[in-house]
Amino acid sequence: METSWAADVAETHAGVVFFTGDRAYKMKKPVNLGFLDFSTRELRERACHREVELNRRFAPDVYLGVADVTMSPETPCDHLVVMRRMPAERRLSNLVRARAPVDDALRAIARLVARAHTASPRSTRISAQGTRDALRARWTESFAQVRPFHERAIAASDAEEVERLTLRFLESREPLFTARIKEGRVVDGHGDLMADDIFCLDDGPRVLDCLDFDDRLRWLDGLDDAAFLAMDLERLNAPHLAERFISWYAEYADDPAPPSLRHHYVAYRAFVRAKVGCLRWGQGDTRAADDVGRFTEIALRHLNAGSVGLILVGGLPGTGKSALSEALGDRLGYTVLNSDRVRKELAEIAPETPASAPYGAGIYNAFWTRRTYAELLARATRLLSYGESVIVDASWTSARLRADAARAAEQAHADLIPLRCETPLADQRLRTRPRGVSDAGPAIAAQMAESASPWPEATTVDTSGPVEDSTERALRSVRPHGPDHAWPKAAEP
């Protein structure tokens, strides 16, 4: 079916686009807006060529070139970017709103963006925009620009909570951003991935209108680039598509970034849009306050979901803490550290090799216990600094050792979530379970119970039934930091 093209004109603050037949002609306005300067013909000509060069990375057959506007054959008076005209009915945003099937198109978009990132040049100047401090400076600038609109276009409590959660996440995460730079994750990307500017054609997607007026805003972590479109899909009430797209991008980019970083970048993109909404409100667009509220809600949801957590799963031997830890780790994608394995590793004993000893003796004496817990927290702290949430599977019967964990979580700016496993079936399980990494039996468990310190701040999890049931109970304490909270179901049409 052929597209019927009608003549049309579209205008923005910086340019005018003329549509005629199967072509689109974009002219830059002779303006100087501070962040871009098209005030002279030479500057407009340079900007047109730069736009074509940059956008051909994503849509080479759409950006056809630059045409001169002339009053006479020898003297151009202006310039136009010449483009293939895209069919509006194939615009991604229109397809999403119509609930059309777009999974295959989103896969292709994720592959295209990942491929462009792979081909992107790397340099010290580009990498400088991907540091923790550079990202924090951009956030801080947005906070300052939004502050005059507190209790006017945006709820002050929401804006302040966004700022608190953001700065808390960034505070101890410098190793994460340094590692991203070393891995070559900071690229010259698109910078403005919006569903309105993506077209899903039969022979593949076309991604238009990259950010071309300020290189620094286009130099960013590739995951940050992809997060823009994920955020925009949430704006279109398609969070399920947002989650799939960001996961497909990570797959094609071979990017094992922790979930916390995905959430952080989605939140960053949402708050930038909230800031723009505040500025529009200040210019007299009262309807923009609705957009501000929506984008702020997206930002808060992802900042909460991206909070880094240190989860202590404790309890006496036989209470199922290891089974619960593994189930939680699988469900949430968190790293699990097991005290029995780490203890034997430090003692240079194979995990399945028995090392039974009387209570408080052998590798279970006070020295080995302190050393084991110190190592667990050292490993956890390192993982937390890389944005990884951690589950530490140990007895946690000592108040002093739990205080050490609390200090570690505070220093790492991570949430501390204590869970205590309990079941009347523990003694029976200890008598019948096959030999594994743990050496504890009923006698050891009884002695540990006598010396255990009260743990009132922990959430008690009944582990008497199937592990799936106890996992669901535990998730009621942990879920705000998990993916189910971050990517809600789309509303029914």
User: Per residue in 294-350, pLDDT tens?
Assistant: 999 999 999 999 999 999 999 999 999 999 999 999 999 899 999 999 999 999 999
pLDDT of residue 387: 97
Asked if 83 and 477 touch (Cβ cutoff 8 Å), the reply is: no
Tell me how far apart the alpha carbons of residues 329 and 470 are, in angstroms, rounded to a whole number. 13
Write out pLDDT tens, residues 30-68. Answer: 998 888 889 999 999 999 999 999 999 999 999 999 999
Q: How far apart are CA 475 and CA 485, in angstroms?
A: 11
pLDDT tens figures, 125-153: 999 999 999 999 999 999 999 999 999 99
Residues of the chain with CATH 3.90.1200: 88-305
Quick one: which of 108, 120, 294, 283 has its CA closest to 204? 108
Share of the chain above pLDDT 70, in %: 96
Mean pLDDT of all residues in the chain?
A: 94
Length of the chain: 493
Closest Cα to residue 146, out of 46, 265, 19, 273? 273
Quickly state the pLDDT bin for 1 (edges 50, 70, 90). Answer: very low
Q: Are 328 and 473 in contact (CB under 8 A)?
A: no
Q: Which amino acid is at 248?
A: W
pLDDT at 488: 58
Contact 422, 460 (CB under 8 A): yes
Report whether pLDDT(493) > 50. no
Q: Which CATH class is domain 8-84?
A: alpha beta
Q: Tokens 């204590």, residue?
A: 418
Residues of the chain with CATH 3.30.200: 8-84
Pair type for strands 8-11 and 15-20: antiparallel
Residue 207 near residue 191 (C-beta atoms within 8 A): no
- Rounded CA gap, 478 and 285, in Å? 40
What is the rounded distance in angstroms from the CA atom of residue 25 to the CA atom of residue 407? Answer: 61
Q: What is the mean pLDDT of residues 284-292?
A: 93
Count Cα atoms within 13 angstroms, Cβ side, for 293. 9
| H/E run at residue 83 | strand 75-84
Distance, in Å, from the CA atom of 412 to the CA atom of 401, rounded to the nearest integer, reads 17
With a CB cutoff of 8 Å and minimum separation 6, the contacts of 279 are 145
Q: Which of 243, 232, 186 is nearest to 209 (CA)?
A: 232
Tell me if 134 sits within 8 A of 216, measured CB to CB. no
- Phi, psi for 37 (deg, rounded to 5): -135, 105
The residue type of 209 is D
pLDDT at 287 over 60: yes
Q: Which CATH class is domain 309-486?
A: alpha beta
Q: Is 210 helix (H, G, I), strand (E, B) or coil?
A: coil
Cβ atoms of 205 and 105 closer than 8 Å: yes
Q: What is the DSSP string of 174-197?
A: HHHHHHHHHTT-EEE--S---GGG
Give the architecture-level CATH label for domain 88-305. Alpha-Beta Complex (3.90)
The band of 487, judged by pLDDT with boundaries at 50, 70 and 90, is low
